[in-house]
Structure 1
């Protein structure tokens, strides 16, 4: 069965006991979303070009698609200014700022994991 993001976000049609967790992972999962969150988490409005420059190896098309998903999920707000050249800015919503403890927990767990893996690999060399 193909992945259906819309169904994952709707716990009424997805009676799986892990629906809420699946929904959360659907919103923040993937290669770019937490990196985009990191670029926006310091507050204020951030221009599209600034986000793009802060993320290496992401195409403008992919960044726009990921930002659109985050906007549809209520994590970011997009503001477009009718100027020439066009200016588009993104900011975290209140719901988006509530991700901060999750982001910090994942970051801390990742640091601990990397440290533990390094220690395990170093000890394996002595056997």
Structure 2
């Protein structure tokens, strides 16, 4: 059984889908947020990212860190907009995305090296 979250679904570029897939399934998230995706702390995320890239023919995959950071910014703004409309329950998710963005910024060079190999 699985759950698919379609809150922000819409048309887009294949590389955007690949970037979000890598973010959620490598996963490219802060260690404290692994629970959100159901991951254990010993997940081999960089080798997983390498395997994801080996399966993708997209040359644009080197853009993944920047695309994920942009997506996280968009998601944080979406949450702020929802909170401003009277849904304060979504506000706690901003901290998750902030931590994930900090992780990607900190590991940017390592992520890029894998994507370029």
Q: Same fold (TM over 0.5)?
A: no
The structure richer in strand per residue is: 1
Larger RCO (alpha carbons 8 Å, 6+ apart) = 2
Structure with greater Cα Rg: 1
For normalisation by structure 2, the TM-score amounts to 0.38
TM-score w.r.t. the length of structure 1 is: 0.36
Identify, as 1 or 2, the structure richer in helix.
Answer: 2
